[in-house]
Structure 1
Amino acid sequence: MISKDPADGGAVPASAPQRRGAKKLPGWTRGLIWLAAVVGALSTASYLTGYPQLTASGTLQTALLLAIPILLAALGGLWAERAGVINIGLEGMMIMGTWGAAWAGYQWGPWAALLAAAVFGALGGLVHAVATVTFGVNHIVSGVAINLLGAGLTKYLSTLIFQPLSNNPRESPAVPKFDTYSAQPLSDWLADLENMQRVGLSDVAGVLRGLVTGVSPLTMLALLLVPVSYLVLWRSRFGLRLRSCGENPVAAESLGVNVYVHKYAAVVISGALAGLGGAALVLNPGQPGYLEGQTGGRGYIGLAAMIFGNWRPAGLLGGSALFGYADGLQLRSGGATVMALFYAAVLVLVGIAVWLVARKKLVAAGITLVGAAALYLIYLSVDEMPSQLSTYLPHMVTLVVLAVAAQRLRPPAANGDEYRRGRGH
């Protein structure tokens, strides 16, 4: 016998033990608690290690810029996989989006760049949908093919169109950027608090100032797409039908849902979002325009952020913020500050271990403390992370986070399964 899981709409055993009287905190409350814990750990580590860059507004501003492409790619993965289509091709769709954004942005400005990036990414999603939904090609194989196609196609188009303009087949001419905006006078007030260097207060001020200073319309749009995706996928009839295609497409078909249409729509939207992630790289104020190899694996990191977030919009927002922060810290502050991040991670792990002890999960608490001790020994042994390693810090964080989060993940039940109309299980 099965019953509905109120958290996700999935099926769970009705006989599963429920703790009477225990009320689960809302997702947004747990998110705020985790945010406060992380900021507190960073603030403490900043004070104890003497590296204020951990919570400096400049670090957070850079982290926000770098998190946006990952966030958009993660949202793209969410749409596809909620409909039951694994989208390993996010990287290739992002690459196509970078070229489309540079081509249109150079001629007509940044808003045209966004539109073209979404169209190019959606075309990549359409190819993936045709291969997987219509012809039943293995989703992983099709995704890898999309990645190769994106890299090859953009290289050919760059040689054909950009080389006469920039005299370099690997980059485009300079692309106009969006104007940026700051919340004045709030930003100035937060700057004064940050410069006071008061423990805790200045750290929070630095974090908040980094999030409200130099914000572009693309950043606002990307953050807005998180609640929009939640409302569409979890609070609309279309979203319910789309998610049913990822959970049990045969049952959805029996209720009159056109599974093919919903899968196609999801994967095309997925590609458009990944294309917007490519546009975010091109329109980044620190980039002149399109550069070959510009995505640097961010499509894969976006996929990891989606998995870390358990296929939920709020969760992938947290994962994207984590990976963007790791990338921004190593770019802005160097290897010595990165090692201070290890100290903050130790504090977080100790806090998790205490929480596990309170819940009487002693084995898990012991394993967590062993991990904290290992990180602390690394912190004591290494003064500065080599630049060859710090460059790949986001990728290392991705592996660690996925390993830690693997036990609580619940993907859509029919994710990656082949579907044929009229064919039951």
Structure 2
Amino acid sequence: MSTATGTAPAKKAPNGGRRLRWPHYLLIASGLLVLLSLVRVIDDADPVTSSGTVSAALRLAVPIFLAGLGGLWSERSGVINIGLEGMMILGTWTGAWAGYQWGPWIGVLAGVIGGALGGLLHAIATVSFGVDHIVSGVAINILGLGLTQFLADLIFDQGEAKALGGGPRQSPPVDAISTLTLPVLSGGKIGGWQSPDWLGSLEDHHWFLVSDLAGILRGLTSDMSLLTFVALLLVPLTFLVLWRTPFGLRVRSCGEDPYAAESLGVQVYRMKYAAVIISGAFSGLAGAFLVTISSVYQDGQTNGRGFIGLAAMIFGNWRPGGLTAGSLLFGYTDAMNVRGGGQSVHALLLFVAILLVGVAVWQAVRANRLRPDAVTDLGRREVRNASLSSVLALVAAVALLVWFLMSDIVPGELVSFTPHLTTLLVLALASQRLRMPAANGVRYRRGEAR
């Protein structure tokens, strides 16, 4: 409804606060970019915003958010899916098996089908037979690992596959997928013509903010795999389907109240089956992506990315935008570990310390704003949680700042651990107001009284 002046009131978040819109997100992104640029200059850590780091972060984030999108589809329909890892593993093997024989795109399609079959198995167990969702997911993970090891030994270590470089723990090489580079902006060749690289030239000057923005844009516009581009398009597509179509409304209604959806004529079993199979397909695509960027299937290739995708989905509050932000966070910190080493991770300490100070201030303000209305046990609990989060964030910020000031570089043995610690800190302190689908994990039987 409109107000008396004819203007619509601003939407409120469930807790009464203002709901963030795109201008707010752009403002936050701009602030983070300025902070990153400042940290880079202070610590002389150029890889922090280099195009190589951004490109690596994107490659590392894509399989995580694809697995997370799979979890989002499943859990929005009310089916918990911790079998994402097993479905990814199925996608890696089927993608490599088809890819080395018929090309990478056929391999991608086969990976999607392999993951979808894992999703179908999970749907049969949980939706049709009412198996506990966690038990079924664990079984899928065990089955995916054991089955692919058996098939790799059976097929890749025999005959033509072995002659092409296969073995009991890896496939023959798979051709790489073509990449995209924007000419003039990011260089590259067009025929025999060497294109200028304007963004690369700006990045090499290491100017405050300007070079950082150029490095980020160049990382997003040079040597991007076509499959990465397709994967990025799946984020807005998922949002449009789940939140802007009748099919998506039916899927989400099954995750909120399947019995109410049933009373309105929704085929709950059908919707759950469709969502879980799509979930498996996304996970299989994530597995196939890993094969295409490494050009080979290897045992243990997923390395827990399915579980990380599940965590990113929870951090994103079961929404595509938040899921993408969580995936990029982990991908970025991991890329700094891979490309920047101890100096870049040292700069990350200062960056996170400043962020945590901001979180502490925000939580303190939030606690003061909630305190006058905290007349119920739930309200008082929210105030205590906000106050505790503020204190913990401030303590963590002081600890990281002391670490930064007392050292010049992060020791090598801690470099690989620090990005994970950074991610855990941010996820734990930022995920204060999560709301999972109301009927997520609930066993449903058609016609059964609630």
Indicate whether the TM-score tops 0.5: yes
1:375 equivalent to 2:400? Answer: yes
Deviation at 1:356, TM superposition (A): 4.9
CA distance in 2, matches of 1:404, 1:356: 10
SS in 2 for 1:408: coil
> Is residue 90–residue 114 contact of structure 2 (8 Å, CA) maintained in 1?
yes
* Matches of 2:336 and 2:250, distance apart in 1: 41
Structural mapping, 1:145-156, within 5 Å: 145-156=139-150
Classify 1:383/1:127 alpha carbon distance in 2 versus 1 (closer, same or farther; 3 Å). Answer: farther
Residues 1:410 and 2:409 are matched in the alignment: no
Preserved contact between residue 83 and residue 139 of structure 2 (Cα < 8 Å): yes
1:320 and 2:345 correspond: no
Aligned alpha-carbon RMSD (Å): 2.0
1:66-95 Cα shifts (integer Å, max 9, x gaps): 111011001001000000111100011111
Q: How many equivalent residue pairs?
A: 407
Measured against aligned partners, the alpha-carbon deviations of 1:169-205 in whole angstroms (never above 9, x if no partner) come to: 1111110011111112122211111111111111111
Unaligned runs of 5+ in 2: 1-10, 187-196, 370-385
2:337 to 330, 337, 355: 330
Shift of 1:358: 5.8
Residues 138-169 of structure 1: per-residue CA shift (max 9 Å, x gap): 11111111111111011011001111223521
In the alignment, the residues of structure 2 paired with residue 127 and residue 77 of structure 1 have an alpha-carbon distance, to the nearest angstrom, of 15
In 1, the alpha carbon distance for the partners of 2:408 and 2:129 equals 54
Cross-structure match for 1:24: 19
SS at match of 1:121: helix
- Contact 1:327/1:393 (8 A) holds in 2: no
Unmatched segments (≥5 aa) in structure 1: 1-5
Percent identical among aligned pairs is 55
Which residue number in structure 2 is paired with residue 202 of structure 1?
Answer: 211
- Map residues 268-347 of structure 1 onto 2, 5 A cutoff: 268-284=277-293, 287-347=294-354
Q: Which residue of 2 aligns with 1:181?
A: 180
- What is aligned with 1:67? 61
In 2, the alpha carbon distance for the partners of 1:211 and 1:273 equals 22
> Following the alignment from structure 1 to structure 2, what is the Cα–Cα distance between the partners of residues 396 and 374?
13
CA contact (8 A) 1:46 1:340 kept: yes
| TM-superposition CA deviations, 1:2-25 (whole Å, max 9, x none) | xxxx889xxx7xxx7x57xxx533
The question of 1:420 aligning with 2:445 is answered: yes
Deviation at 1:375, TM superposition (A): 1.4
CA contact (8 A) 1:349 1:368 kept: yes
Query: Contact 1:301/1:398 (CA < 8 Å) preserved in 2?
Result: no
Q: Distance in 2 between matches of 1:401 and 1:350?
A: 12
Pairing 1:110-121 to 2, within 5 Å after superposition: 110-121=104-115
Per-residue deviation, 1:385: 3.5
| Amino acid paired to 1:219 | T
CA shift at 1:274, angstroms?
0.5
Q: Which amino acid aligns with 1:314?
A: G
Q: 1:105 matched to which residue of 2?
A: 99
SS in 2 for 1:407: coil
For residues 308 and 25 of structure 1, the distance between their equivalents in structure 2, rounded to whole angstroms, comes to 16
Give the counterpart letter for 1:370 in structure 2: V
Q: Which moved more, 1:382-391 or 1:82-91?
A: 382-391
Distance 2:426 2:136 in 1: 26
TM-score by length of 1: 0.91
Identify the residue that residue 3 of structure 1 maps to in structure 2: none
Seen in structure 2, the aligned counterparts of structure 1 residues 393 and 131 have a Cα distance that, compared at 3 Å, is farther
CA shift for structure 1 position 347: 1.9
Distance 1:65 1:378 in 2: 30
Please report how far the alpha carbon of residue 352 of structure 1 lies from its aligned counterpart in structure 2 after TM superposition. Answer: 3.4
Structure-2 separation of matches of 1:414 and 1:222: 29
SS at match of 1:186: coil
Q: Deviations over 1:277-305 (max 9, x none)?
A: 01111111xx2310110111100111111
CA–CA separation in structure 2 for the residues paired with 1:400 and 1:177: 36
User: CA contact under 8 A between 2:12 and 2:19: conserved in structure 1?
Assistant: no
Equivalent position to 2:256, from 224, 231, 247: 247
Shift of the alpha carbon at 1:339? 1.9
Match of 1:56 in 2: 50
Amino acid at match of 1:25: L
Q: Which amino acid aligns with 1:240?
A: L
CA distance in 2, matches of 1:7, 1:220: 34
Question: 1:230/1:220 Cα in 2 relative to 1: closer, same or farther (>3 Å)?
Answer: same
CA distance in 2, matches of 1:33, 1:421: 47
Alpha-carbon distance, 1:101 to partner? 1.0
Deviation at 1:382, TM superposition (A): 4.5
Residues 87 and 397 of structure 1: CA distance in aligned 2, closer, same or farther (over 3 Å): farther
Partner of 2:227: 218
Residue identity matched to 2:176: K
Q: Distance in 2 between matches of 1:388 and 1:86?
A: 36
Q: Deviations over 1:226-259 (max 9, x none)?
A: 0000000000000000000000111111111111
| Letter of the 2:178 counterpart | D
Q: Which has the larger radius of gyration?
A: 2
Q: Distance in 1 between matches of 2:343 and 2:297?
A: 31
Mapped pair 1:86 → 2:95: no
1:168 aligns to 2:177 (yes or no): no
Read off the aligned partner of 1:118 and give its amino acid letter: V
Q: Which amino acid in 1 is paired with 2:228? A: T
- Write the distance in 2 (CA, Å) between the matches of 1:377 and 1:253: 57
**Cα pair 2:70 2:84 within 8 Å, conserved:** yes
CA distance in 1, matches of 2:256, 2:417: 35
1:371 to partner: Cα distance: 2.2
Q: CA deviation at 1:135?
A: 1.1
1:394 Cα deviation (Å)? 5.0
Is contact 1:37–1:348 with CA below 8 Å preserved after alignment?
Answer: no
Return the alpha-carbon distance in structure 1 between the equivalents of residues 134 and 418 of structure 2: 26
Aligned-pair CA distance for 1:117 = 0.4
- Cα distance in 2, alignment partners of residues 99 and 278 from structure 1: 8
Question: For residues 395 and 349 of structure 1, do their structure 2 counterparts lie closer, same or farther at Cα, with a shift above 3 Å needed?
Answer: closer
